[in-house]
Amino acid sequence: MTTMDLRADIGEILLTEAQIQARVADLGVQISADYAGRPLTLVSVLKGSLPFMADLMRSITLPVRIDLMEVSSYSGATTESSGLVRILKDLSSSIEGEDVLICEDIIDTGLTLNYLVRYLGGKKPASLRICTLLDKPARRLVEIPVDYTGFTIPDQFVVGYGLDYGELYRNLRYVGVLRPEVYTESE
**Active site residue ranges:** 108
Q: Is 108 among the residues that bind ligand IMP (CB under 6 A)?
A: yes
112 in contact with ligand IMP (CB under 6 A): yes
- Which residues, in sequence order, are CB contacts of 94 under 8 Å at separation 6+? 123
> How many Cα atoms sit within 13 Å of 146 on the Cβ side?
23
Binding of ligand IMP at residue 107 (CB under 6 A)? yes
Q: Is 59 in the site for ligand IMP (CB under 6 A)?
A: no
The footprint of ligand IMP on residues 66-95 (CB under 6 A) is none
Q: Reduced to 3 states, what is the DSSP secondary structure of residue 31?
A: helix
Number of residues counted as binding ligand IMP (CB under 6 A): 14
To ligand IMP, the closest distance from the beta carbon of 93 in angstroms equals: 23
Residues with Cβ < 8 Å from 25, sequence gap 6 or more? 59
157 binds ligand IMP (CB under 6 A): yes
Sequence-distant (6+) residues with CB within 8 A of 2 are 9, 165, 166, 168, 182, 186
Binding flag, residue 162, ligand IMP (CB under 6 A)? no
Can residue 44 be called a binding residue for ligand IMP (CB under 6 A)?
no
Give the three-state DSSP class for 163.
strand
131 is a site residue for ligand IMP (CB under 6 A) = no
Contacts of 135 (CB under 8 A, 6+ apart): 106, 107, 146, 149, 150, 151, 152, 153
* Residue 149 C-beta: closest distance to ligand IMP, Å: 13
Among 9, 98, 99, 105, binds ligand IMP (CB under 6 A): 105
Judged by the rule CB under 6 A, the positions of this chain that interact with ligand IMP are 48, 105-113, 157-159, 163
